[in-house]
Amino acid sequence: MSRVRYYAFRTVQTVFMLWLALTLLFFMFRAMPGSYVDQMLFAGASPETAQAFREEWGLNDPLYVQYWRYLVNILQGNAGESLEFRQPVWDYVERKIFNTFILVAPGITFAYILGSAYGLVAGMNRGSILEKYGIVPLIFAGAFPTFVTSIFLIVIFASGLGWFPTGGIYTVETRRLFKEAAWYRPYLTLDFLHHAVLPFMAVTFRYLFLPSLIMRTSVFEVKDQGFTFYNRITGLPLLKRFRHIAKHASLPVITLYPVSMTRAIGGLVLIEIVFNWPGIGQALVNGISARDYPVVQFVFFLIAAFIILSNYLVDIIYGLIDPRISVEGE
């Protein structure tokens, strides 16, 4: 399969998976027991009010009509409106998505850079003390659930030493100071960085051991391959041999990166609750509790889309790093 045909096939496959995820989420949430209208009736709303609400929001339309309307709206960039907050879903979740992203992306990326560097050095020095025992504290830190690590960090660095705040994204004073400024201005303050240190550490510690183990094992395997032995006996400089080994050993780590990113987003609910971080995890919990299906299904779709698109990009990067993966007999 030529490289162009491979990329075209993966593109079509990715588009199909996005459509399938969107469709399954739409019907799955409408098949679940309970609805926002049931919540209204339980809270004391009259049947007439509930019926008027269903008519206003098109909930009495046939399911295929609702699905087609939702599909068209998504293609037009409209995720619908929140039943609970009476505002466009995107307006409700966009800041929360950003808050989650600026916590997860730097934390996971730093964990993979640091973990890959350790795994590379440990793999190149097989049998050393660093290789044998250096991984132990990383595994120990990653073995704990994220909320345990978060509480541990708060007890030591916030309550004990008083170096960092116990929670929040920035202080009330910062919010008041930049109330009339651009929405991103509070994120450029030292106050925000001060609040982000402990959640950042919680994410990093949780996922540091994964790239370390994978990279170390991958380096072992690459060093045993024939081309590595050939490079050594032909006198290739050590730095170039180091770069070749790192390039080939990094493929499994690259594959694992988007998976860890997705797992971190899913597990961030507990971190956001512990640190009172206003991210997508809290919005998801609130949406499920209120049966606010437009919010919940859009958030789940974003997570699914991130997984699908990340795997797509990984396949593309794989093909660029090692053409043998995507090209056979070009």
Write the pLDDT tens digit of every residue in 53-84. 777 667 777 888 888 888 888 888 888 888 77
Question: Could you give the CA distance from residue 307 to residue 257 in angstroms, rounded to a whole number?
Answer: 11
pLDDT of residue 250: 76
pLDDT of residue 73: 85
Residue 224, pLDDT > 70, answer no
Structure tokens at 124: 């190149």
The contacts of residue 197 (CB under 8 Å, 6+ apart) are: 164
Residue 227, pLDDT > 70, answer no
Average pLDDT of the residues in 200-219: 84
Residue 329, pLDDT > 60, answer no
Res. 38 pLDDT band, cuts 50 70 90: low
pLDDT of residue 330: 47
Q: Which one has a higher pLDDT value, 322 or 309?
A: 309
Res. 302 pLDDT band, cuts 50 70 90: confident
* Mean predicted lDDT score pLDDT of the chain: 79
H helix runs in the chain, sequence order: 3-31, 36-42, 47-56, 63-75, 89-124, 129-133, 136-143, 146-153, 172-177, 190-207, 209-223, 226-233, 238-249, 251-274, 280-289, 293-321
Question: Could you give the CA distance from residue 36 to residue 20 in angstroms, rounded to a whole number?
Answer: 25
Average pLDDT of the residues in 128-153: 79
Average pLDDT of the residues in 177-191: 84
Question: Could you give the CA distance from residue 65 to residue 63 in angstroms, rounded to a whole number?
Answer: 5
pLDDT of residue 280: 82
Lowest mean pLDDT among 51-60, 74-83, 276-285, 286-295: 51-60
Domains of the chain are: 89-289 (1.10.3720)
Res. 2 pLDDT band, cuts 50 70 90: low
Residue 326, pLDDT > 60, answer no
Res. 16 pLDDT band, cuts 50 70 90: very high
pLDDT of residue 20: 92
Percentage of residues in the chain having pLDDT higher than 90: 2
Write the pLDDT tens digit of every residue in 84-136. 777 888 888 888 888 888 888 888 888 888 888 888 888 777 777 777 777 78
Residue 288, pLDDT > 70, answer yes
